[in-house]
Structures are given as structure tokens and as C-alpha cells.
């Protein structure tokens, strides 16, 4: 157990470094994809973006292909449930949970999962951790998934803020030039 804790701590440290260097949504998704599976100790992870009423599975790191690149209506999947309710879904058995659609899971080896929203109060994404066996999902595991989701949300907020500042600065710098173009002979 002690060795697992050290690996988790090292993985979380690396994840934090990747997020600190992130300059875009793609960088945050890559950080989650690279780190989450190792840190959480699961068989697979998925990063799901909220996209015009759909869940867009943009990245995964799993034992088998899951749903990367696919879109599902928010109301029809557990990642959508997590985003719509701004709550973590803890699912010890995917076959018994009404939030999980049966059909997509019939051909997958996933038996248990945790799906945490990214961002609050209106989540922009979700982070899912999957296991190929029915497992007891303890508080420490849920806390780890939620902590990674919070860190990703913070990184996305930082990136959006930096982008907004850059956009405002660009607008201020181009506005005077535009005014001069409209009235080149105006006296100043």
C-alpha cells in the first residue's frame, strides 16, 4: 500500500506540472490522458467534453478502445449525468445503475466506474475512471478522481482567463488603428 501511495503522489506531482505548463484545452486533455489512469489506479480513463448538448469523448487511455471521437446526448450517458447534475457518479456495477445506458457497455469490459464533472457550477467536461471488474469504490478513489477534475477545471479557467486578457489587449491595440483609418484627415 505504501508503494502505491508513493506512485500516486509522484503521478499527481507530474500531473500538476503538466497542468501548470498547459496553454490550451488540448494540453489539459493530454495531461489527463497521460496521468489519470496511473494516479487513480484504474483500467481506463475517458475525458469527455460538453459540446452543444452532447458528450464528446475526446480522449481515452484504456485497455481496450472505448468511445474516443464519439458523441452521445447529455441525457443518455453517465458522463452527461455528471455534467448536468454537477455531481460525481459512483457506479460499482454498470449493469445495475439507471444512469448508465446498457447498450454501449454490452460490448465493453467495463464493470465499475467513477465519472466526475470538470468545472462548477456548470461543468464543461467530465473525467471518467473505469475498472474491468466489479470493485468497491472507496472514498480515497473518488477523492482522487474529483481532485484531478478540480485541477483540470482550474487549469481551464486559467487558460480561458489568459485568452480573454489577450483578446482584450488585441482589441484595444487594433481599435485606435481602425479609428484612424476611418478618419485619416481628422485633426487630433
SS3 117: strand
Write down the pLDDT at residue 3. 43
Write down the pLDDT at residue 188. 41
| C-alpha–C-alpha distance, residues 47 and 79, integer Å | 9
Give the mean pLDDT per block of 10 residues along the chain (188 residues).
50 85 89 89 94 95 91 96 97 95 90 96 94 95 94 90 59 56 50
Nearest to 43 by CA among 123, 150, 153, 137: 137
Give me 88's grid cell. 460525481
Nearest to 127 by CA among 149, 147, 108: 149
Exposure string of 91-130, with b = 16+ CB inside 10 Å and e = fewer, is beebeebeebeeebbeebebbbbbbbbbbeeebbbbbbbb
pTM of the model: 0.80
Q: H-type helices in the chain, by residue range?
A: 2-21, 25-40, 78-85, 102-106, 139-182
| C-alpha–C-alpha distance, residues 69 and 56, integer Å | 7
Q: What are the sequence ranges of the domains in the chain?
A: 2-156
DSSP of 60-74, one letter per residue? Answer: EEESS---TT-EEEG
For 143-163, the pLDDT digits (tens) are 999 999 999 999 989 988 775
Write down the pLDDT at residue 166. 55
For 55-89, the pLDDT digits (tens) are 999 999 998 889 999 999 999 999 999 999 999 99
What kind of architecture, by CATH, is found in domain 2-156? 2-Layer Sandwich (3.30)
SS3 115: strand
| C-alpha–C-alpha distance, residues 59 and 69, integer Å | 8
Give me 36's grid cell. 489519470
| C-alpha–C-alpha distance, residues 68 and 79, integer Å | 13
> 87 Cβ partners below 8 Å, 6+ apart?
117
Amino acid at each position: 500500500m505504501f508503494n502505491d501511495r508513493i506512485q500516486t503522489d509522484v503521478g499527481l506531482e507530474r500531473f500538476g506540472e503538466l497542468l501548470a505548463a498547459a496553454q490550451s484545452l488540448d494540453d489539459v486533455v493530454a495531461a489527463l490522458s497521460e496521468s489519470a489512469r496511473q494516479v487513480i489506479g484504474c483500467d481506463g480513463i475517458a475525458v469527455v467534453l460538453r459540446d452543444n448538448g452532447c458528450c464528446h469523448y475526446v480522449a481515452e487511455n484504456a485497455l481496450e478502445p472505448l468511445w474516443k471521437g464519439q458523441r452521445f446526448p447529455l441525457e443518455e450517458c453517465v458522463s452527461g449525468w455528471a455534467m448536468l447534475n454537477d455531481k460525481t457518479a459512483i457506479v460499482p456495477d454498470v449493469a445495475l445503475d439507471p444512469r448508465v445506458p446498457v447498450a454501449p457497455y454490452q460490448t465493453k469490459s467495463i464493470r465499475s466506474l467513477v465519472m466526475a464533472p470538470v468545472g462548477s457550477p456548470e461543468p464543461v467536461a467530465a473525467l471518467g475512471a473505469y475498472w474491468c471488474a466489479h470493485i468497491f469504490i472507496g472514498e480515497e478513489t473518488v477523492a482522487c478522481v474529483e481532485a484531478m477534475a478540480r485541477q483540470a477545471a482550474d487549469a481551464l479557467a486559467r487558460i480561458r482567463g489568459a485568452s480573454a486578457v489577450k483578446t482584450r489587449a488585441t482589441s484595444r491595440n487594433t481599435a485606435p488603428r481602425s479609428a484612424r483609418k476611418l478618419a485619416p484627415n481628422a485633426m487630433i
